[in-house]
Structure 1
Amino acid sequence: MISLTLLLPILVIAALAVPRASIRTGACAAAPLAVAPAIVLTVSTPTAALDLPWLLMGTSLQMDDIARPLLFVAAVLYGAALIAVAWTRRRAPALTAFLLASYVGTAGAYLAADAVVFYLAFAVMSFSAAGLVIHHRTPHAHRATAVYLAMTVLSETALLGALLLVVGAGGALLADAHSAVAAADQPGLIVGLLIFGFGVKAGLVPLHLWLPLAHPAAPPAASAVLSGVMVKVGVVGWLRFLPPADSVSAYAWILLVLALAGAFLPVAAGLLQNDPKVILAYSTISQLGFITAVLAAGVLAPGIHPATTSAVALYAVHHGLVKGALFIGVPVVKKHGRGALSAVTLLGMTWAGLALAGAPWTSGAFAKYDAKYAVEDVYLGVAGLADLLPLVATGSTLLLLRLAWVMWHGERSAGRADAQFGAWLVLCVLGLTVPWWIGASWLGLSAPQWTSATLWDMAWPILLALAAGVPVWLLASRGRLPAAWPASDGSVIPPGDAVVLAESAVGAARKHGGAGLKLVHDRTGRVADGWDRGWAAAAALTRQGVEAVETRARVWTLTGIAVLTLLVVLLLPLLINGGGAQ
């Protein structure tokens, strides 16, 4: 079944490349069914393996406790995205093919049991995603794709170096990777490369630059898999290769600090956006910061590593389904936000928002509950990590309030139900049930006990955000915000934040570079002239001093000779008389 999981999508891709229109139409219709083997595989058996010693350097694929839930969610999300794209009147064979190619890479990375297959699958997924970002071929899409490809090449280069070192240390099989990295001669170099390489994909601050640009450029279905699935492959890479060992603890602290920065800083940037997909992109960066912080805690404290690994897997399942529903929900609200389907649309998006914030009785509450208690023994100075992580829900709620405002005041019509609406509805239903099932049955986690203390722990971060955000909402709706209130159209912090600053700097250098170089040349010429004059004056003074010393030396030489001659004349009689006296 593992072979069919990867082979069937490849066959559909090949059919999509056939010039004949009827074959391509049939391939589009069959595309969502290409994910069925993965769903059957994950549901029917907890483990599976496939060894192909004749392929590459020996190919090993295996489904374990990490791969199983994530592969299931990947199949569901890609299936929903393919339905939204391929089962419409305006079929998009190219977009369908790139979705299937990235799915093959994602599934291969999850199932890989050796470093060669993992790297190959990761590369297939990464570069196939460029076809999703550039699909609309607008100037914004071209710019976002250029940034994405630049970051991807850097990521792949770092990962290639890291995995070569891991294999050289004895970690060719992923089962041996942890011990190989911990015992390597240069574990710091390996871990640093791994943090950078996987950090690009996982949106780790400050390597998140591509996310706020790629999501608004890509179609909503593509954004759903970019945010719900692909970014998690970076997290899985860390789980596979970062060992819970003292030899890498310094780098784990760095990863933890960067993760917390990513959990909180993007909230401010997201609140100043007016594009729903950009807001959701910054929300993804924040949520991935939460996941990475839990993962880093497990690396720092080996005793809690199994618990943090399970918590990361559950959170990835929950976040994938919820964020997929929110991204596909953006066009659903535009098409069905009024009329007969508006109530269903409102209920579905409200559920997704509450789950993302971690409200009680949602999958988000389950995921955050287990994550919080998995890291309760990890401290940053006087503050416990378990005390900081709930505040991520405050930021998520503020971003969701901003998203609701933008979508409520945006375009909404009363369209008929279509394939996109059906795919979104399936994600909503699965999001309500699947995380609970996977958490309890597959990962062996216990659901929260809904005591008053537990309910309060889950509710207060959301209430804090409401206390801050609702007054602003009311003032904005009545047009009473102060004039100094920051613009929320992306002009204060444009999407891509640091990328825009870098582009501005490069543009300014290109525009004013000639004048700047001329100015530098003139200034350095003046400095050089002054330097020459100074050295000439110093040389003249030195020469005059030397000449004066030489003159004085000649005078003193003659004087010395005369004095010595006089002394000889005076002392000679004394010496003679002294000799006669003896």
Structure 2
Amino acid sequence: MLIALSLLTPLALVLALGLAGLLRPLTKFTIRRRLTLFAPLAVVPAVLLALLGNPGSATAALEVPWMLFGAHFAVDLYARPLLLIAALLYGAALLAISWIKLRDAERGSSALSAFLLLSFTGNIGTYLAADAASFYLGFALMSFSAAGLVIHYRTPAARRATRVYLVMSVLSETAILAALILVASGGGFLLTDAPAAAGTAHTGLIQGLLFFGFGVKAGTVPLHVWLPLAHPAAPPAASAVLSGAMVKAGLIGWLRFLPEGETAGAVLLTLALIGAFAAVLVGVVQHDPKVILAYSTISQMGFITALVAVGLLVPELRGATSAAAVIYAVHHGLAKGALFLGVPVVKHYARGRTGILVLLGMLGAGLAVAGAPLTSGAFGKYVSKEAVSGIEVLGVGLDQLLPLVATGSTLLLLRFAAVISSADRDPRRRADGELLSWLGVCAAGIVVPWVIGARWITDPVQDEGVAVPSWDPGTLWDATWPILLGIILAAMVWVAARRGLLPGRLTSQEAPVVQPGDLLLAEESLLRRVGSGGGAALDAAHGFTGSAAGRWSDRWSAAAQRGRRGVSWAEARLGGWESTGLVLVVLLTGVVLATMLLLGGNS
């Protein structure tokens, strides 16, 4: 019952928002304002499902035989924590826009709420789906509904970001659909059978399709280019769910479907590490705070993807790495959601009596992302290090390499702090949904990851809970030194900039040395060249085929003319026998006899 309510409640609210458009203008406006105000309540069934739906219980499963090929939904070890995080983030996003839009009566508020509700339904549908068809339905609904979030402001930047996002989403959906058809044809219609079915036939093709399809959503390099464009274009509330919840759909897709394989794991690990560190180099030169946070998300998702890759490389570790990836995803979703929601909060409430509160909240979320001691980020990084212990990359232990991601996060967050502190302010006197939703996410980020990690998540292989850090001096130092290294590097760069030792383009405030989307510029240039070259090739092909067609046309015309003359000659000769048809009968009889003789001789 709770699963059905979780999926149907937001859809019912979207339907009501749509039907309100049939009413008179004043009535329509009033009803939509009220529905938008109560939209955050649509996530309540999902929150209750996550809290009460213990995996394996009667409330944690649902079958709908008449839907698709027989739809199955279930709450399992991975779905439960991600479901709760998605519900909290979407609820906060709906709350942030509902009160602000209600007060200001901005045009398009109901549309933004509707797209958030549709995206929420698809997002949790990917977590709850227990069969391939339902999973794809939820994933597609989430992907295409998110386009409404990106294009909301209708600016040129938003339109370009939406075009890029839609192109990447269509390619992603095509790859995923092809992979799921192959998996289902091998006996993996139910997700419990999917990894085994994917590993029996067409394994390499399925892995490649899943890498691409889910890699787009997870922001895996080089498929990440939509993220730095979509985040600054979308409203902050939408950015919070894009970064905090939607990108995790790529993670759950990999966990559900990817078959084991050493080659596949090595490729994915390479891409993950490139993304984790290269995103830092591009992000620290950006001037937009939301673009900086977008590159931070790409880096953090590289960290999570590395855990998934190790599970493919070493099947014995898959349970531990998958549990660590989910714990880290829970922490990252809330902490990054708080930072994105905090961008307008800093603008509106970072002065006066609320200034200290805003400072503490943003500082706490930033320290969690960096993995400072005693934070949820430190918990996630500790569990991850334990899961990959003993794995080496080019002779270096992965448990020694991954902490350097925290150094990159520190650099990005310091850059974010510098940019946002110098941004324009637009103070507001009264608290509204924007401030309250942000406070709620900050509070959840302190408590929820610890509860989920310590009580909900277990290693399905070892059938035991994950290790909670003891915070002895060694553990505290392991969580501290990457951050200190980041601070030292940032101080060195600052001193070099003050002394004019850096190139002017790196310190210029007019335009970043690397544009948001980085590789997209090269990809667009390549496509333009291919397009122009392809156009010339098509013109040449058209000229060749036109010439050939002209020659063939002349030949066929001559042949047809000769044929018509032959028919006219035959008609003239046979015209006298038309009344009896004797000649035709004789001819047909001869053909039949000859055929019978030939067949008889061959038998």
Range of TM-score over shorter length: 0.7 to 0.9
Deviation digits for residues 232-283 of structure 1 (CA, Å, limit 9, x no counterpart): 000100000013x3xx221111011001111000111101100000000000
Instruction: Pick the aligned partner of 1:49 from 61, 71, 79.
Output: 61
**What's 2:224 paired with?**
208
Q: Which moved more, 1:409-418 or 1:275-284?
A: 409-418
Per the alignment, residue 78 of structure 2 pairs with 66
Question: Which residue does 1:532 correspond to in 2?
Answer: none
Range with greater deviation from structure 2 (172-181 or 335-344): 335-344
TM-score (norm 2): 0.82
Provide the TM-score with structure 1 as the length reference.
0.85
- Tell me if 1:426 matches 2:427: no
Match of residue 468, structure 2, among 438, 444, 447: 447
For 1:11, the aligned partner's letter is A
Distance change in 2, residues 1:45/1:513 (3 Å): closer
8 Å Cα contact 1:12/1:30 also seen in 2: no
Of 498-507 and 206-215, more deviation after overlay is shown by 498-507
Residue 103 of structure 1 aligns to which amino acid in structure 2?
Answer: F
CA contact (8 A) 2:125 2:138 kept: yes
Q: What CA distance in whole angstroms lies between the structure 2 residues aligned with 1:347 and 1:481?
A: 34
Please name the residue that 1:111 is paired with: 128
5 Å-filtered alignment, 1:270-281, equals 270-281=283-294
- Deviation of 1:506 after TM superposition, in Å, equals 5.1
| Cα distance between partner residues in 1 of 2:193 and 2:483 | 42
* 1:75 pairs with 2:87: yes
Shift of 1:491: 3.4
Q: 2:333 aligns with which of 320, 323, 327?
A: 320
CA-based RMSD? 1.9
Equivalent position amino acid for 1:266 in 2: A
Write the letter of the residue equivalent to 2:203. Answer: P
> Is the counterpart of residue 15 in structure 1 residue 31 in structure 2?
no
Partner Cα separation in structure 1 for residue 507 and residue 178 of structure 2: 43
Which one of 84, 88, 99 corresponds to residue 87 of structure 1?
99
Q: Hey, what's the Cα distance between the residues in 2 that align with 1:313 and 1:405?
A: 31
Q: Which residue of 2 aligns with 1:407?
A: 420
| Residues 130, 148 of structure 1: 8 Å contact kept | yes
How far, CA to CA, are the matches of 1:45 and 1:492 in structure 2?
49
SS across alignment from 1:376:
coil
Cα distance between partner residues in 2 of 1:481 and 1:14: 59
The corresponding residue for 1:269 is 282
User: Could you say which structure has the larger radius of gyration?
Assistant: 1
Structure-2 change in CA distance of 1:303 and 1:76 (3 Å): same
Q: Secondary structure at the match of 2:193?
A: helix
Report the Cα offset of residue 507 of structure 1: 5.7
Are the structure 2 counterparts of residues 12 and 479 from structure 1 closer, same or farther at C-alpha, using a change threshold of 3 Å? farther
State the partner residue of 1:379: 392
Cα deviation, residue 23, structure 1: 2.0
Deviations 1:317-367 (A, max 9, x none): 000000000001011111112111111111000001100000001000000
The structure 2 residue matched to 1:353, chosen from 366, 382, 405, is: 366
Q: How many residues align?
A: 513
The superposition leaves residues 15-55 of structure 1 with CA deviations (integer Å, 9 ceiling, x where unpaired) of 11112222212211121000000101111231200001111
Q: 2:452 aligns with which of 438, 454, 460?
A: 438
Q: Which moved more, 1:201-210 or 1:302-311?
A: 302-311
Q: Is the 8 A contact 2:265 2:311 kept in 1?
A: no
Give a deviation string over 1:266-312, Cα, whole Å, max 9, x none. 11110110000000000000000000001110111111111111101
- AA at the equivalent of 2:88: V
Q: Does 1:225 align with 2:241?
A: yes
Q: Mapping of 1:253-332 within 5 angstroms?
A: 253-332=266-345
1:358-410 residue CA offsets vs partner (Å, 9 max, x unmatched): 00010000000000110012222311111110000000000001001101111
CA distance in 2, matches of 1:481, 1:400: 23
| Structure 1 segments (4+ residues) deviating >6 Å | none
User: Are the aligned partners of 1:472 and 1:481 in contact in 2 as well (CA < 8 Å)?
Assistant: no
Q: Which moved more, 1:412-421 or 1:329-338?
A: 412-421
How far is 1:90 from its partner?
A: 3.3
Counterpart residue number, 2:195 = 178
Q: 1:340: which partner in 2?
A: 353
- Corresponding position of 1:32: 40
